[in-house]
Structure 1
Amino acid sequence: MAERKLFAGHAVRRLRRGLALTQAAMAESLGVSASYLNLVERNQRPLSATLMLALAETFDFDPRTLSAGEPGGGEEAMRRRLADPLFADIDIDRSELQEWLAGAPGGAEAFARAFDRLGGAAALPGAGEDPGTAVRREVERWRNHFADLDAAAETLADELRIASSDLFGAMTERLRVKHQLAIRVLPIEVLVGVRTRLDLHARQLQLSEALDPPSRVFALARQLGGEARAEIDALVRGAGFADRVAERLYRRHLTGYFAAAGMMPYARFLRACEATGYDLELLRRRFGASAEQVAHRLTTLQRVGARGLPFFMLRTDRAGQVSKRFAGASGSPLVESAVPCPLLDAYAAFARPDERIVQLVELEDGSRWFTSSRCVAPPGGWAGAVRARFVVTLGLAASAAKGLTAARGLDFGGEAVPVGLGCRACTRADCPQRSAPPAGRAMLVNEREAGASPFGFAVD
Structure 2
Amino acid sequence: MSGAKVIAGHAVRRLRRQNGLSQAAMAEMLDISPSYLNLVERNQRPVSAALLVRLVETFDFDPRALTSDAPGGGAAAMRRRLADPLFADLEIDRAELEEWLAAAPGGAEAFARAFDRLAGAGGGGTEAPAIPDPTVSVRREIERWRNHFPDLDAAAEGLADELRMGAGDLYATLAERLRVRHALTIRILPIDILPELLTRLDLHARQLQLSEMLDGPARVFALATQLAQLEARAEIEALARGAAFGDRLAERLFRRYLHRYFAAALVMPYARFLRACEATGYDLEILARRFGVSHEQLAHRLTTLGRVGARGLPFFLMRIDRAGQVSKRYAGSANAVLVEADGRCPLWQVFAAFERMGETIFQLVEMPDGSRFATIARAQERAGRDASGVRARFAIVLGVEAGLAGQVAAARGHPLTEAATPIGPGCRQCSRPACPQRSLPINGRVLTVNERDRPINTLVFAQD
What TM-score, normalized to structure 2?
A: 0.94
Give the equivalent residue in structure 2 for 1:366: 370
Output the amino acid matched with 2:209.
Q
Q: Is the 8 A contact 1:161 1:167 kept in 2?
A: no
The one-letter code sitting in structure 2 at the alignment partner of 1:389 is: R
Alignment of 1:291-302 (within 5 A): 291-302=295-306
2:103 matched residue in structure 1: 103
- Taking the aligned partners of 1:457 and 1:82, their CA distance within structure 2 comes to 22
Structure 2 distance, partners of 1:242, 1:256, is 22
Aligned match for 1:385, one of 380, 384, 389: 389
1:191 maps onto 2:197 in alignment: no
1:103-252 matches, cutoff 5 A: 103-122=103-122, 127=130, 129-161=132-164, 165-225=168-228, 226-252=230-256
C-alpha spacing 1:237/1:313, structure 2 compared with 1 (3 Å): same
Amino acid at match of 1:340: R
| Structure 2: distance between partners of 1:117 and 1:417 | 35
Q: What is the aligned counterpart of 1:323 among 327, 334, 337? A: 327
> 2:458 matched to which residue of 1?
454
Please name the residue that 1:86 is paired with.
Answer: 86
> Partners of 2:167 and 2:432 in 1: how far apart?
57
Q: What is the aligned-residue RMSD (CA, Å)?
A: 2.0
Structure-2 separation of matches of 1:417 and 1:43? 32
1:72 paired residue number:
72
SS in 1 for 2:441: coil
Q: 1:243 to 1:184 in 2, by over 3 A?
A: same
CA 1:373/1:94 → structure 2, altered by over 3 Å: closer, same or farther? closer
Q: 1:164 to 1:368 in 2, by over 3 A?
A: closer
Contact 1:434 / 1:455 at 8 angstroms: preserved in 2? Answer: yes
Q: Is the 8 A contact 1:70 1:141 kept in 2?
A: yes
Displacement after TM superposition at 1:257 (Å): 0.4
- The 5 Å alignment of 1:209-358 reads 209-225=212-228, 226-358=230-362
Question: Contact 1:196–1:219 (CA<8 Å) still a contact in 2?
Answer: yes
Structure 1: gaps of 5 or more residues: none
1:347-368: per-residue Cα shift (whole Å, max 9, x none)?
1111111311111111112221
Structure 2 match to 1:7: 7
Say which SS state the counterpart of residue 342 (structure 1) adopts: coil
Tell me the CA shift for residue 346 of structure 1.
0.8
CA distance in 1, matches of 2:237, 2:15: 24
**Aligned equivalents of 2:260, 2:135: Cα separation in 1:** 15
Query: Which stretches in structure 2 are left out of the alignment for 5+ residues?
Result: none
CA 1:95–1:240 in 2, change beyond 3 Å: closer, same or farther?
same
Of residues 156-165 and 298-307 in structure 1, the stretch that sits farther from structure 2 once superposed is 156-165
Residue 107 of structure 1 and its aligned partner are, at CA, apart by 0.8
Q: Which amino acid aligns with 1:65?
A: A
Which secondary structure state, in structure 2, belongs to the residue aligned with residue 334 of structure 1? helix
Whether the 8 Å contact between 2:185 and 2:206 is mirrored in structure 1 is yes
Tell me if structure 2 keeps the 8 A contact 1:431–1:452: no
SS for the counterpart of 1:78 is helix
Name the residue aligned to 1:445: 449
Shift of 1:435: 1.7
2:329 counterpart SS class: strand
Aligned twin of 1:409: 413
**8 Å Cα contact 1:164/1:170 also seen in 2:** no
Superposed CA offset, 1:315-341 (max 9, x none) = 111111111111111111011121221
Aligned equivalent of 1:62: 62
Letter in 1 for 2:180: V
Partner of 1:313: helix, strand, or coil?
strand
Q: Distance in 2 between matches of 1:5 and 1:87?
A: 32
Counterpart residue identity of residue 403, structure 1: Q
Q: Indicate if the aligned counterparts of 1:149 and 1:232 stay in contact, CA closer than 8 A.
A: yes
The residue aligned with 2:21 is 21
Give the distance between the partners of 2:251 and 2:102, measured in 1 at CA. Answer: 30
CA distance in 2, matches of 1:374, 1:162: 28
Displacement of 1:221 in angstroms is 0.4
TM-score (norm 1): 0.95
Aligned residues: 459
Distance 1:367 1:80, change over 3 A: same
Aligned match of 2:31: 31
* CA–CA distance in structure 2, aligned partners of residues 301 and 448 of structure 1: 57
Cα 1:90–1:383, aligned 2, differ >3 Å: closer, same or farther? closer
Q: Summarize the Cα distance change of 1:4–1:395 in structure 2 as closer, same or farther, 3 Å threshold.
A: farther
Conserved 8 A contact 1:117-1:128: no
- Displacement of 1:245 in angstroms is 0.8
Q: State how far apart, in whole Å, the 1-side matches of 2:306 and 2:85 are.
A: 31
Percent pairwise identity: 64
8 Å CA contact retained: 2:4, 2:309: no
2:434 to 408, 430, 434: 430
Please say if residues 299 and 327 of structure 1, whose CA atoms lie closer than 8 Å, have aligned partners that are also in contact. Answer: yes
Q: Distance in 1 between matches of 2:107 and 2:166?
A: 53
Aligned residue identity for 1:274: E
Equivalent pair of 2:5/2:49 in contact (CA under 8 Å): no
CA pair 427-36 structure 1, distance change in 2 beyond 3 A: closer
**Equivalent AA in structure 1 for residue 374 of structure 2:** F
Larger deviation: 288-297 or 62-71? 62-71
1:181 offset after TM fit, Å? 0.8
Q: Contact 1:322 / 1:339 at 8 angstroms: preserved in 2?
A: no
Report the Cα offset of residue 65 of structure 1. 1.5
One-letter code aligned to 1:369: F
